Amino acid sequence: MTACRRYGFIRALLRDGVMRRDETSQRLRLTTRLDQLFTNRFFVPLIMVAILYGMYGFTFSLGELPVEWLEAAFSALGKWALSILPPGLLQSLVVSGVIGGVGGVLGFVPIILFMFLCITFLDDTGYPARAA
């Protein structure tokens, strides 16, 4: 293969695969403008506060219902254990210690789950690294 044929082949590939500056779409220009806005040194702290506030609201509004379900379930389990166990140290250990303790800790799981979901989504966008 001669050099002319090689360079002709390369030129044909570049013509089909490389986007020239004058061929950029409106979407790319919009993305560039949004990128300049969201990485502006004066707006980044305000945008991050707004994003974190939104994450906080999302987490606690969506996590409220599952937390109530878990609290109700552990409360019912505690009442059931209270009714079948004889009064004494074992009843106190199981109802107040085990069921109450595990229920108190598991009550935070939905909130933590939604918070990590938000953090993961935010991290996948790449915005925290760009904002820093």
pLDDT at position 12 = 81
Structure-token pair, residue 15: 């013509």
pLDDT of residue 10: 83
- Residue-wise pLDDT for 98-120, tens only, equals 888 898 888 889 999 999 999 99
What does R_g of the chain's alpha carbons equal in angstroms? 29
- DSSP letter for 98, please: I
Q: What are the tens digits of pLDDT across the range 13-55? A: 777 766 666 545 555 677 788 888 888 888 888 888 999 999 9
Q: To the nearest whole number, what is the mean pLDDT of the chain?
A: 85
In 95-131, which positions are buried (b, 16+ CB within 10 angstroms) versus exposed (e)? beeebbeebeeebeebbeebbeebeeebeeeebeeeb
